[in-house]
Amino acid sequence: MSRTICVTDDTPLEKDFDSRTALAEASRCLLCHDAPCSEACPAGTDPARFIRSLRFKNIWGAAETIRENNPLGGSCALVCPVNELCESACVRAGLDQPVRIAKLQRFVTEQERKMGMQILKTGPFNGKTVACIGAGPASLACASVLAQQGYHVTIFEQSSQSGGMLSLGIPRFRLPQEIIDFDLAQIEKLGVEFRYNTTVSASDLDGLTKQFDAVFIGAGLWKPKTLDLPGKSLDGVIHALDYLQNARRYEPSEKGNRIVVIGDGDVAMDCATTAQALGADSVKLVFCRPIAEASANIAETLLAVSMGIPVVTEFFPQKINGKNGRVTDISFTGADNESVMNLLTDKLILAVGQERSEELASVSRQKGLFSGGDWANGGKTVVAAIAEGKKAAASIIDYLDLRA
Ligand SMILES: Cc1cc2nc3c(=O)[nH]c(=O)nc-3n(C[C@H](O)[C@H](O)[C@H](O)COP(=O)(O)OP(=O)(O)OC[C@H]3O[C@@H](n4cnc5c(N)ncnc54)[C@H](O)[C@@H]3O)c2cc1C
Ligand code: SF4
């Protein structure tokens, strides 16, 4: 499948706009009547509308548009693949450069945070209760819409914090914790109840659908896929999510380590850039496909390359070798069936995908049960999960209205 990718000189690590540069950038907007940028946002954040407010120096209005449409607007400004969404659709892309929508959204949500605005408001309680499983973007978006409409929402989360992959997967240098925390605080202030360290399994669902008027599953994909290779259980062979969670929590030094990452997606890029940022002696990314077919967003690949990480393509891992129970090196064969390669490594990170965890691997359809986000769509993006959470909230409201 071909992908249209719009490459700008943007990187997630670029300096933020200040008031002067933000207004100058907003004034580049052509105020398009049909606003293809807004059409292109799955969550309906409506960039055309908030940019228009910003042009008129109406920061509050701009912040309202973002927050009301996208409860995780601060985080999305930093992690959305805008070069495949709003910025790729921007009419100015055909003239010179797209309007820097993500950076404008970042500017507005940062003003909102600094001024301590509280835009979302809880609706009067309507007597109905909803349970959400998982505290990731899908459930948070669903809960936010419902709480504003007067539903009492309880979120069951297996870990000790909310945010899902935002707090537990995406590296801190791309998404600082204080940005997520502000987004989360807006939802907590709506009265949404969080029950942490609570894993829900398929056998609990019957009880939950009796206890609550509706149940939403937004449990994401938390079981790492692995490579069926000799040596995969050696010490030093780590799955990407374990590596990233540990790095996000403790930021351990990688000094002295040679690291090989296998995988061609955004998660593999995050592992490689994190290892490099933590001071590894060397980091190498290896994957089977040609670079043009890699599944990672081009901006993430460019970030890895700009950090000096070599990317080796079209090599298949064959055997993980070790000594005294610990990984020492890994051997590959080339796609041409002739080339061979052996890389010395102290840590081998497998970033070859995730799937549903056992507890909720298969769930039978039943009345009052809804789902969205990675768990339902097989793994997409934060903004797709938000869109599906919002959509599920609308379906839950319709379902409960009809039942009443
Ligand atoms: C390393 C990494 C980097 C990424 N980078 C980007 C990016 O830059 N931009 C982007 O748009 N997308 C990115 N993604 C994808 C994005 O994070 C996901 O698409 C998005 O988080 C999905 O949201 P979700 O709510 O469906 O699931 P999740 O974010 O996975 O949240 C699910 C939540 O459910 C909890 N849970 C799971 N099972 C249970 C259970 N049985 N009981 C209770 N709780 C449970 C989990 O602990 C988690 O908190 C990245 C993903 C990863 C892994
Ligand atoms: S498409 Fe670009 S120029 Fe048109 S309204 Fe959106 S941001 Fe402005």
Chunked into runs of 10 residues, the chain (404 residues) has average pLDDT values of: 37 78 97 97 98 97 98 98 96 95 98 96 98 98 98 98 96 94 98 98 95 98 94 97 95 96 96 97 97 90 93 97 97 96 98 95 91 97 98 98 82
Question: Which residues fall within 8 angstroms of residue 244, CB to CB, at 6 or more apart?
Answer: 168, 169, 170, 171, 267, 270, 271, 274
Tell me, yes or no, whether 242 and 342 share the same domain: yes
Q: What is the number of domains present in the chain?
A: 3
Report d(CA 103, CA 311) in Å as an integer. 28
What pLDDT score does 13 carry? 55
- Do 158 and 209 lie in one domain? The reply is yes
CA distances 364 to 46, 279, 360, Å, are: 36, 47, 10
Same domain? 252 vs 345: yes
Q: Are 195 and 271 members of one domain? A: no
How far apart are the C-alpha atoms of 60 and 85, rounded to whole Å?
A: 25
Residues 233 and 330 in one domain: yes
How far does residue 299's CA lie from ligand 2's centre (Å)? Answer: 21
Residue 53 alpha carbon to ligand 1 centre in Å: 32
Which mutation among 155, 180, 382 tests ligand 1's pocket best, with the greatest number of atoms within 8 A of CB?
382
Q: Is residue 367 part of a domain?
A: yes
Q: Are residues 385 and 239 in the same domain?
A: no
**Whose alpha carbon is nearest atom 4 of ligand 2?**
32
**Domain annotation covers residue 5:** no
Domain extent for 48: 19-114
**Residue the block writes with tokens 């940019």:** 51
Tell which of 61, 91, 114 closes a domain: 114
Ligand 1 contact, 164 CB (< 6 A): yes
Beta bridge partners of 370: 216
Within this chain, do residues 238 and 327 fall inside the same structural domain, yes or no? Answer: yes
Query: What pLDDT sits at residue 6?
Result: 35
Q: Residue 235 maps to which CATH number? A: 3.50.50.60
Q: Is residue 2 part of a domain?
A: no
- Give the number of whichever ligand sits closest to the CA of residue 353: 1
Backbone phi and psi for residue 401, each to the nearest 5 degrees, phi listed first: -65, -40
The answer to whether residue 350 is domain-embedded is: yes
Tell me whether residue 290 is in a domain. Answer: yes
In a domain, 243, yes or no: yes
Q: For residue 4, what pLDDT is reported?
A: 33
Q: In this structure, what CATH number is given to the domain that contains residue 66?
A: 1.10.1060.10
- Tell me: do 365 and 330 sit in the same domain: no
Output the CA–CA distances (angstroms, integers) from residue 118 to 60, 63, 64, 109, 210, in the order listed: 10, 10, 9, 12, 34
Ligand nearest to the CA of 137: 1
Task: Write down which residue in 63, 88, 114 finishes a domain.
Answer: 114
Q: Check whether residue 284 and residue 189 sit in a common domain.
A: no
Shared domain for 212 and 245, answered yes or no, is no
Tell whether 252 and 344 lie within a shared domain.
yes
- 124 assigned to some structural domain: no
Same-domain check for residues 336 and 187: no
Strands 326-334 and 340-344: antiparallel
CB of 360 within 6 A of ligand 1: the answer is yes
Q: Is there a domain that residue 7 lies in? A: no
